Amino acid sequence: MLSAELKAFYRVAQLGSITQAAKKLGLSQPTVTTQIRQLESQYAVELFYRGGRRLTLSDDGVRLLPMVKALIQQEGDIEFFLRNSGQGTGTLRIAATAPYYILDLVKNFRERLPQIAVSVDIGNSQQVLEALDEYRVDIAASSQLVEDPRLIRRTLGTDPLVLAVHRNHPLAKFEHVPLSALAGHCLLMREQGSTTRKLTEQLLDGAGVGFGPLLEIGSRESIREAVLRNIGISIIARQEVPHDPQLRVLTLEGAPQIAEYLYCLKERKSARLPAAFLGLAQEMAPA
């Protein structure tokens, strides 16, 4: 399998930051720095130009990157083969932006193939699609629409964006909220990479509406808890708002629908477990 040093190089090359690479790898920043230096020292090569906070690939680093990416793909293929070679066993790895659509599929999949282990990781759209591209998962469910010839895509469903507020918030008196009414209010939003955040920013920018101080919170569960505490308001997919007497769910002027898509690499669509999951998704697809 890949050496730790090459994995560190790949992540730093992707992100341009040792800090961000360390976070992705689940390692400390000094550990990643040491791994990069060991790789450069062992082969007497400079892989990055160091200037300021961001690292830039050197000419040698640019040439090395596609080779390391090919190795990552090979490692993913080997691991996938070993996990799924036995006809009666195996593991299906899934990444999703939200549990609402994917868990019904997982439930039905487990009923049909109870001997198969399933893992589900939750992240934002960017994170789950990266995991699929890097062969860390077999299936990805994301609200981001991607046109990529390497992928097959299925639509799991659509949901309107709504405004969630505490029942004591000034906007709670409305049933339908004009965008202009949001001006000046504290808006709770996901981190960069979230499709909901992107749609929210596009909606408000298009209407020329400015909002009050932005509070960025890295999970939808934490955003819901913040709304429950009347810390701010949030534009969110309708089914993500829990049933709670403390909350009001309001329709929002011009709010778009947000879709959830299922993705799989074309090269793996015929493999036993992804094929079974995709077939089930097709059966359960909305009419």
| pLDDT above 90: percentage of residues in the chain | 43
- CA 104 – CA 29 distance, rounded (Å): 39
pLDDT for res 287: 63
Is pLDDT at 152 greater than 90 in this prediction?
Answer: yes
Position 223 in a domain = yes
The total number of structural domains in the chain stands at: 3
* CA 276 to each of CA 56, 82, 193, 233, 280: distance values in angstroms, whole numbers, following the listed order: 42, 18, 29, 40, 6
Same domain, 60 and 123: no
Looking at the structure, tell me whether residues 133 and 265 fall in a common domain.
yes
Sign of the alpha-carbon torsion through 174, 178, 179, 182: negative
Q: Which residues pair with 237 in a beta bridge?
A: 161
Give the pLDDT band (50/70/90) at residue 87.
low
Confidence of residue 86 (pLDDT cuts 50, 70, 90): low
Rounded mean pLDDT of 262-277?
A: 91
Q: What is the CA radius of gyration of the chain?
A: 22
Residues 169, 252 share a domain: yes
CA proximity to 274, closest of 91, 56, 149: 91
Name the range with the highest mean pLDDT among 79-83, 123-127, 155-159, 169-173.
Answer: 169-173
Above 80 in pLDDT, residue 80? no
Task: Report the pLDDT value the prediction gives residue 242, as an integer from 0 to 100.
Answer: 80
Average pLDDT over residues 192-197: 84
Residue 266 has pLDDT above 90, yes or no: yes
Mean pLDDT of the residues in the chain:
88
Pair (140, 12) in one structural domain = no
Same-domain check for residues 165 and 225: yes
Do both 251 and 270 map to the same domain? Answer: no
94 pLDDT higher than 90: yes
Q: Which domain holds residue 280?
A: 82-156+259-284
Identify whether residues 98 and 166 lie together within a single domain. no
Are 163 and 232 in contact, with CB atoms under 8 Å apart? no
pLDDT of residue 1: 44
Establish if 58 belongs to a structural domain. yes
Residue 275 lies in a domain: yes
CB atoms within 10 A of CB 117: 13
Query: Is 162:250 a contact under the CB 8 Å cutoff?
Result: yes
If you write DSSP's letter for every residue of 43-77 in order, what string do you get?
HT---EEEETTEEEE-HHHHHHHHHHHHHHHHHHH
- Residue 69 belongs to some domain of the structure: no
> In this structure, is residue 71 part of a structural domain?
no
Same domain, 137 and 273: yes
Residues 248 and 180 placed together within one structural domain of the fold: yes
Q: Which of 16, 34, 64 is the last residue of a domain?
A: 64
CA gap 269, 267 in Å, rounded: 6
Question: Does one domain contain both 171 and 207?
Answer: yes
Residue 52: the pLDDT is 66
Q: Is the pLDDT of residue 183 over 70?
A: yes
Characterize the bridge pairing of strands 257-265 and 139-142: antiparallel
pLDDT for 239 equals 83
The pLDDT-based confidence of 77 (bands split at 50, 70, 90) is confident
- The pLDDT score that the predictor gives to residue 50 is 80
Q: Is residue 76 part of a domain?
A: no
- Same domain? For 8 and 46 the reply is yes
Name the region of 219 (left: φ>0; alpha: ψ -120 to 50; beta: rest). beta
More confident residue, 163 or 191: 163
- Higher pLDDT pick, 219 / 201: 201
111 close to 67: Cβ distance less than 8 angstroms: no
CATH number of the domain to which 144 belongs: 3.40.190.10
Residues 30 and 92 placed together within one structural domain of the fold: no
Half-sphere exposure of 75 (CA within 13 A, CB side): 16
Confidence of residue 61 (pLDDT cuts 50, 70, 90): very high
Structure confidence at residue 163 (pLDDT): 94
In the structure encoding, which two tokens stand for residue 142, read together? 């994301």
* Per-residue pLDDT at 58: 92
In a domain, 10, yes or no: yes
- First CA to last CA distance, the chain: 44
What residues contact 69, with CB distance under 8 A and at least 6 apart? 10
Q: pLDDT, tens digit, for every residue of 234-253?
A: 999 888 888 889 999 999 99
With pLDDT > 70 as the criterion, what percentage of the chain qualifies? 96
Round to whole Å and give the CA distance between 279 and 273.
10
